[in-house]
Structure 1
Amino acid sequence: MNIMFFITPKAEVVSVYDTDSMKDVLEILKKHKYSAVPIINEDGNYLGTIKEGDLLWYLYSKGSFEEEMLNKINIMDVPRRVTNETAKVNYNAEDLMSILIGQNFVPVVDDANSFIGIVKRRDVISYAYECMKNAGDFPEAGFKKIK
């Protein structure tokens, strides 16, 4: 199965731009109650994922939470502790599973690194759960249908 079955298209994904300030990103995370969002540039290329932990550790290193400072810091100046893996549009679900073990979502890009959308771990697990539930027992995998 191709991962496009699971994709949330970029038009429905909350993301930030590489020109945004740290304050802008904090406000977006707070508003949507997310812990991480993709960073894209004006050309629509995926540049990385910023996480609230990255912001917290950066603020801690600066020793300041002043609003004026937050407005001056470009989000690209905040070091990211982990680089999220991406998936290409031609990946299959099996390729995706190993990535989703360590990430809440996987950014999907095309061959030109244009951001297409994301695949959420929750959507893949929900799909797998429904398949297991509808198929009944899975003794070879140790799963039993819950009655």
Structure 2
Amino acid sequence: MNIAFFLLPKKDVIYLNINSTMRQAMERMKFHRYTSVPIIDNEGKYVGVLTEGDLLWKMKNTPGLTFMNTKKIPLSEIERHTSHNPVQVDAQMEDLFSYAAEQNFVSVVDDKGIFIGIVRRSEIIRYCLAILNPPRYYTTATIKDRIPDEIFSY
């Protein structure tokens, strides 16, 4: 099945611009309680994913860096330690299975590399569960038709 059915569009996704600061990233991730967020450039193209680990490594490897002066560090100066490759919007859900094992979401781009949204791990898992546990029966009956009449008598 095409991933477009499961896409959370860009307008509903928390993401960062590559020119944002480390401080902005930390505050936004804390506020939304996210451990990672997509990064885009000024043209809207997908750049990668920033993780809490990337921020921690920058703090650890930058002598004298304090929370107060993180506002001086652009995200472009933060090394990303994990590569999160995006998928094209015409990808199939089965293409995302291996991604789901490693990351909370998969970034989706159009054919020009423009970030258009994400597919969450939870959606990938639900899709897998539906394949593994299909409905045992199909019916066109309404709910009322399946509930005994005495429940609806007053």
TM-score by length of 2: 0.82
Could you tell me which runs of 5 or more consecutive residues in structure 2 were left unpaired when the two chains were aligned: 137-154
Structure-1 separation of matches of 2:52 and 2:64? 16
| Aligned residue number for residue 108 of structure 1 | 108
| Aligned residue number for residue 73 of structure 2 | 73
| Aligned residue number for residue 96 of structure 2 | 96
| Aligned residue number for residue 60 of structure 1 | 60
Give the drift of 1:135.
2.9
What letter is aligned with 1:88?
A: Q
Alignment of 1:1-147 (within 5 A): 1-136=1-136
Structure-1 separation of matches of 2:7 and 2:112? 18
What letter is aligned with 2:70?
A: L
Q: Secondary structure at the match of 2:81?
A: coil
Report which of the two structures shows the higher radius of gyration computed on alpha carbons: 2
Could you tell me which runs of 5 or more consecutive residues in structure 1 were left unpaired when the two chains were aligned: 137-147
Per-residue deviation, residues 79-133 of structure 1 (Å, max 9, x unmatched): 0111102110111111111222211110000110000100011112123334544
User: Is the 8 Å Cα contact of residues 96 and 124 (structure 2) preserved in structure 1?
Assistant: no
What is the number of residues matched between the two proteins? Answer: 136
Give the RMSD, CA atoms, in angstroms: 1.5
